[in-house]
Amino acid sequence: MKSIVTNSLFANRNFSLFFFGQSLSTIGDGFQQIAIIYLIFDMGGRGSEMAFSQLSLFLPRIMILLLGGVVVDRLNAKQIIWVTDLFRFAIISILVLLLAFDSLTFPLLYIMLSLSGLASGFFYPAFNSIVPSLVEVAELEQANAWVQSISQTAIFIGPPLAGLVISNFGVTTGFIINGFSYLIACLTGILIKNKEIITNKMKESHIIKDFLDGFQQVWNAKWLRTILIVNLLGGLAVVGPLQIILPLYSKEVLKIGTSQMGIVMAAFGIGSVLGMMMISKLKTEYKTLRMFYILEIFQGIILCFVAIPSLIIVVFAIGIVGILNGIASIIMISKIQSNVPSYNLGRTMSFVTLASFGAVPISQLLSGWLSGFIPLNFVFIFSSGLLLIGGFFGVIVSKRNSTDKAKRIYDNETIGG
């Protein structure tokens, strides 16, 4: 059955174009990530310049995400995707020209990265809401599994390949490859033909009113509000410990070398991809928001084992958490996409994306702060507690509601967990 669905997916010209273009674009992002690091070092920068560069990318994206969701609902996700890819291609092209003429300064670099971050704020709500307009409902979960696995897979392909290319051909080459990946994604985006649904109400309304309506509708829908809270707690629990604490834990507690540390750091991403690909194996009755919350609980339980200072246990525990996270993320996204009307989907996904992205800096800062007061092992136990709190909260709130049995009415809170 899985092979039939997969074959049907990639026989779908529009989905194939989208998947191919965005896969290249995401790999290109990996080139940009490594190229920026090399560039800052080449320009004589240190930690502060590195921090400012990341802030320049991240902060504008966060600030514009909710507006991006409104724009996606008013226009068309396809249009937003190819326009933002074209805009980012133009930004990278300007950056390459500045490098060619040796005219790039740190202020100019921060401006270029900020503009790219602004474009991403429009891109991500469109990216996360376009899939239902490309595939049939029966293919939605498998399509989401493939699409969401793009970013995880690119983690293994983009940065290592970028490091090899940049070390041999220079930083400029890395940015050129990144730019062309955006251009190809733009061209494939233009060729896509997706369903366009824009109500007269949206056309006649104002952006500020659309934003306020979107916020009210998301917050008044108990099942969506619960997802946002649980998703935020999950991000707080996982991101910082895996990105900040795990490398320190591997070096100072596990006492492992660089190659083994690479295995530890890759375990979550590999597990996530496996989980996303395993979603089709689950029976339909298990693909519920209740299961999403239960998977959060199991992630919390398994994450506790990372506190045991054994390389094998740590790798397996992180890998299993990744698998559970991959399955849970596809269930969550698919349920939102299949239950939220298309004319509200962009705004809804912008709130979900904001919860995920917004958790990143908070989790990183919290993890760094905790590491100065408690042993590194206990940071993972603390994170497990956050996951358990989020999971049990979701189960309790959704106890009397069921998305799968409810009618598809978004505005009047009839869709449950």
Q: What residue segments make up the domains of the chain, in order of their start? A: 2-196, 212-397
Cα–Cα dist 122/391, whole Å: 30
Q: What pLDDT does residue 198 have?
A: 52
Q: Which two tokens stand for residue 248?
A: 């320190």
Q: What pLDDT does residue 174 have?
A: 92
CATH topology of domain 2-196: Growth Hormone; Chain: A; (1.20.1250)
Q: What pLDDT does residue 333 have?
A: 87
* Spatial contact of 190 and 383, defined as CB atoms under 8 Å apart: no
Cα–Cα dist 274/250, whole Å: 23
Cα–Cα dist 106/296, whole Å: 41
Helix/strand/coil percent split, the chain, to 5: 85, 0, 15
- Shared fold status for 2-196 and 212-397: yes
Q: What pLDDT does residue 248 have?
A: 83
Instruction: Classify domain 212-397 by CATH architecture.
Output: Up-down Bundle (1.20)
- In the chain (417 residues long), the average pLDDT of successive 10-residue segments reads 59 92 89 86 81 83 84 86 96 96 94 94 90 86 85 73 86 94 96 69 61 75 89 89 84 80 80 86 83 95 94 94 93 87 80 80 83 88 94 86 46 46
Q: What pLDDT does residue 16 have?
A: 94
This prediction's pTM: 0.76
Helix (H) or strand (E) holding 328, with range, is helix 311-339
Q: What pLDDT does residue 261 have?
A: 74
Burial class (CB in 10 A: 0-12, 13-18, 19+), 210: buried
Q: What pLDDT does residue 82 have?
A: 95
CB count in 10 Å sphere of residue 228: 18
Burial class (CB in 10 A: 0-12, 13-18, 19+), 146: buried
Cα–Cα dist 414/280, whole Å: 27
